[in-house]
Structure 1
Amino acid sequence: MRPFLAAVLPLLFLQVPLVAQHDHEASPYAHTQTSEIPTLNDDEIAQLRNGEGMGLARAAELNRYPGSKHVLELDDQLGLDEAQRALVAAIRSQMSGKAIAKGEEILRAEQHLSELFESGAATQAAIACITDHLGPMRGELQSIHLNAHIKTVDILTAEQVTHYVELRGYGDAAPRASGDSSTTSGSP
């Protein structure tokens, strides 16, 4: 009997951590159940509706391609002239219009996805149909934001870009090694 207990007793102690792992906490997205579109939280919905960046242009922002929104917020510190301000505002307006339209498309797709599951009609084929379109829509939204950064950097001088990087707290304000399009004289 002792050899049996010696073999079984350690296995019983192994069960304790497994039981503890099943203490369920609320899911991090449980609060979205009351959201207008349950697959997204209220903040995500608002950002998509308002054409906000949501970090989609981080690759540009962190590599010396300023964003039009932040350039306009920092226009006095950057010393923008009237022509630059008008051009950046036009980029911002155009980007915002496109981003809002694309955001609405994404919201409709997310709503449809949620409705499929809510109704019990979700199938692999139906989900694939939605997600096959949703992925490219999200990519298009990111492209809209990234392209606005590319257009904006061409309007600024190298000094303004460097100052922007410093003001935004990105640390290394050294110019890009090659293909630096921010060395224009301020004209597009």
Structure 2
Amino acid sequence: MAPIIPQKAFAIIGMCLCFPHFSYAQGAALLQPYAGEETRQIKSLSEKDVEDLQAGRGWGLAKPAELNGYPGPAHVLEAAEDLQLSPETRARVEAIYADMNAEARRLGALYIEAELQLENAFSDKSAEPEVLKRLLADAEALRAQLRQTHLEAHLETAPLLTRHQKMLYARLRGYDTGNGHDHGGHH
């Protein structure tokens, strides 16, 4: 009796024959991009994602501001000595950060819960188009609010810094400031 070969094996063998530089390891990676993620409580969020959301961290949501010359309050406070912030500026940035962080934590917890509800709809097989539409709308509305919270904190922080402090901030953060673009944001 001939051995039964899984259909995935035929696909991999076919790819190897058609593409001589294609290895089995590459084929396995293509066929199993989410391997190991099935054990997550919320499949769409890693443990690090959940930690970042619970801690009110930026989660990369403010990159349009950060990378275009609008420093964020958390990183400004980290670089306070290098930036030589005045006591008044430091106090204002600390207040912006505290407000942003409190709201980001609140919204992050709600977003995690919304993603958990979406997860549960699929894990308990109750996902239907109308349920899915509502769950997605809820989760994405929270994500948008979370992003707005982080971006607004950048908008509030930038005017508190001098042009020189913004340029120094960009240099400290490793951003290319020699490309002719003004990374100073507001003056």
Q: For the superposition of Structure 1 and Structure 2, which TM-score range results when normalised by the shorter chain?
A: 0.7 to 0.9
The answer (yes or no) to whether the contact 2:69–2:185 under 8 Å persists in 1 is: no
Percent identical: 32
- Aligned equivalents of 1:114, 1:169: Cα separation in 2: 38
Return 5+ residue gaps in structure 2 as ranges: 1-10
The structural deviation recorded for 1:48 is 1.0
CA contact (8 A) 1:162 1:175 kept: no
Instruction: Indicate the residue corresponding to 1:17 in structure 2.
Output: 14
State the structure with more CA Rg: 1
Inter-partner Cα distance in structure 2 for 1:68 and 1:136? 24
CA contact (8 A) 2:71 2:166 kept: yes
The aligned residue for residue 43 of structure 1 is 48
**In structure 2, C-alpha distance between the alignment counterparts of 1:113 and 1:54, rounded to whole Å:** 20
Structure 2 counterpart of 1:121: 126
8 Å Cα contact 2:107-2:146 kept in structure 1: yes
8 Å contact from structure 1 (residues 32, 40) kept in 2:
no
Query: CA offset at residue 172 of structure 1?
Result: 1.5
Question: 1:1-188 residue pairs with structure 2 within 5 A?
Answer: 16-18=13-15, 24-25=28-29, 27-172=32-177, 176=182, 180-181=185-186, 183=187
- TM normalised by structure 1 equals 0.79
Q: Which residue of 2 aligns with 1:186?
A: none
- Deviations, residues 31-85 of structure 1 (Å, cap 9, x unaligned): 3333332331111111111111111111111111001111000000000011111
Opposite residue 152 of structure 1, the aligned amino acid is T
Q: Answer with 16-25 or 153-162: which moved more.
A: 16-25
161-170 vs 16-25, greater mean Cα deviation: 16-25
Q: Give the whole-Å Cα distance in 1 for the aligned partners of 2:13 and 2:43.
A: 36
Contact 1:39–1:111 (CA under 8 A) maintained in structure 2: no
For structure 1, the residue ranges without an aligned partner over 5 or more in a row are 1-13, 184-188
Q: Deviations over 1:105-147 (max 9, x none)?
A: 1111111111111111111111111001211211111111111
Q: 2:67, 2:175 within 8 Å by CA — same for their partners in 1?
A: yes
In structure 1, the residue corresponding to 2:92 is in which secondary structure? Answer: helix
| Contact 1:37 1:111 (C-alpha < 8 Å) held by counterparts | yes
Distance 1:16 1:61, change over 3 A: same
What is the count of residue pairs matched by the alignment? 168
